[in-house]
């Protein structure tokens, strides 16, 4: 019995030994798929468990029981929850999130428009925040325990301490109300040209950059400082290599794994955590769409937005794990 068990496990063991990098990547992908499935169950079940009823909200408190029953039958709410879950999941896998209960429009079409707006905002913020955070982290290490390092740390701590809605309202007060140098995205955003869109998202982009910049910068600084204490970095400095060159050419590349992880987590936050910023600036993205749907108990929209946010977050975390694995020289060049 033991021989047959060992023989059965040999192919998997051999694959792991011959392709350790690929095996880890496949494992992360499978775990991400299982996690997304578990999250879909929680989203659907959690939304179903919410108190209240759409039919009653839609028809009003004076609705007759028969009218409420008719609406529930029309929407399929009288069917078993397990049946409705698998129908919803099957449609979601194919990109069909059903029909909005409130507007009777296709949820997929509305989500497609709103998701594009959210990704545009998050992507523009990421293009600014990521290189700026890495550069400031390297600069902070270069001037370690000196005035520039202290100034950067104080500003980053202040930015971390303030919630995004407070930062957003401060930016609105000073740049839109007092000085009039910025505009709001609002409803005209979809019809704007590319340059006008960039101008319109200046304030929400600045808010997102300030929110994620400090965390990425501090983690970059910590990762590079950890590498700087290594013996080979001391040897490089003893050989006369300049401090900035040692940081840029040796310390930063060897600190890639933790930097990639923190950047990916913050990119995930930019997409998922954009809800508050979109509400503050009345930005026509996924977050605003979901909040509007919650107020009228439009459950297909809430479930679709929740699943998409979860999928983006899980995907970016999976991508961070894969990139960290690839960046590990021990896995790239196994002995």
Structurally, the chain folds into a number of domains equal to 2
Q: Give the end of a domain, one of 93, 128, 154.
A: 93
Residue 102 resides in a domain: no
Q: Based on the fold, state whether residues 213 and 258 are members of the same structural domain.
A: yes
In angstroms, the CA 165 to CA 171 distance is: 10
Mean pLDDT lowest among 35-39, 150-154, 174-178, 228-232: 228-232
Q: Based on the fold, state whether residues 302 and 198 are members of the same structural domain.
A: yes
In angstroms, the CA 21 to CA 27 distance is: 10
Q: Based on the fold, state whether residues 82 and 150 are members of the same structural domain.
A: no
Amino acid 186: pLDDT: 47
Provide the CATH number for the domain around residue 165: 1.10.3720.10
Q: Based on the fold, state whether residues 81 and 169 are members of the same structural domain.
A: no
Residue 98 resides in a domain: no
Q: If you count them, how many residues does the chain have?
A: 335
Q: Based on the fold, state whether residues 251 and 130 are members of the same structural domain.
A: yes
Residues 6 or more apart from 87 whose CB is under 8 A from it?
none
pLDDT tens readout for residues 35-82 = 999 999 999 888 877 776 666 666 666 667 777 778 778 777 778 888
Q: Based on the fold, state whether residues 199 and 244 are members of the same structural domain.
A: yes
Q: Based on the fold, state whether residues 161 and 118 are members of the same structural domain.
A: yes
Q: Give the end of a domain, one of 93, 117, 133.
A: 93
Residue 100 resides in a domain: no
- Number of Cβ atoms within 10 Å of the Cβ of 86: 11
In angstroms, the CA 291 to CA 285 distance is: 10
Residue 164 resides in a domain: yes
- Number of Cβ atoms within 10 Å of the Cβ of 250: 18
Q: Based on the fold, state whether residues 45 and 89 are members of the same structural domain.
A: yes
pLDDT at 333 over 60: no
Residue 99 resides in a domain: no
Residue 49 resides in a domain: yes
pLDDT tens readout for residues 198-252 = 777 888 888 888 888 888 888 888 888 887 777 767 676 667 677 777 777 767 7
Q: Give the end of a domain, one of 67, 93, 119.
A: 93
Host domain of residue 296:
107-332
pTM for this entry? 0.77
Q: How far is CA 86 from CA 39, 41, 42, 92, in A?
A: 14, 10, 13, 10
More confident residue, 245 or 287: 287
């Amino acid at each position: 019995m033991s021989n047959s068990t060992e023989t059965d496990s040999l192919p998997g063991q051999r694959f792991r030994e011959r392709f350790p990098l690929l095996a880890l990547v496949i494992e992360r992908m499978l775990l991400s798929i299982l996690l997304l499935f578990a999250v879909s169950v929680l989203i659907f079940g959690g939304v179903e468990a919410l108190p209240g009823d759409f039919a009653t909200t839609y028809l009003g408190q004076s609705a007759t029981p028969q009218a409420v029953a008719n609406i529930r039958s029309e929407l399929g709410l009288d069917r078993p929850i397990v049946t409705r879950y698998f129908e919803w999941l099957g449609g979601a896998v194919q990109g069909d999130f059903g029909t909005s209960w409130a507007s009777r429009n296709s949820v997929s079409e509305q989500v497609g428009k709103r998701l594009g707006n959210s990704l545009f905002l998050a992507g523009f913020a990421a293009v600014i925040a990521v290189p700026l955070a890495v550069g400031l982290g390297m600069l902070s290490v270069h001037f370690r325990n000196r005035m520039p390092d202290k100034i950067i740390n104080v500003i980053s701590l202040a930015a971390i301490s303030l919630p995004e809605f407070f930062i957003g309202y401060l930016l609105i007060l000073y740049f839109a109300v007092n000085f009039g140098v910025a505009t709001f995205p609002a409803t005209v955003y979809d019809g704007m040209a590319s340059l006008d869109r960039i101008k319109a998202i200046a304030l929400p982009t600045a808010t997102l950059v300030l929110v994620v910049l400090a965390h990425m910068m501090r983690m970059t600084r910590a990762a590079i400082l950890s590498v700087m204490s290594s013996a080979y970095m001391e040897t490089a400095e003893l050989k006369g290599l300049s401090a900035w060159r040692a940081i840029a050419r040796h310390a930063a590349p060897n600190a890639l794994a933790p930097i990639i992880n923190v950047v990916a987590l913050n990119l995930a936050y930019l997409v998922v955590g954009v809800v508050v910023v979109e509400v503050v600036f009345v930005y026509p993205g996924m977050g605003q769409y979901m909040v509007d749907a919650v107020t009228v108990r439009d459950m297909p929209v809430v479930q679709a937005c929740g699943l998409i946010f979860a999928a983006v977050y899980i995907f970016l975390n999976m991508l961070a794990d894969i990139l960290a694995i690839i960046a590990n020289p021990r896995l790239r060049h196994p002995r």
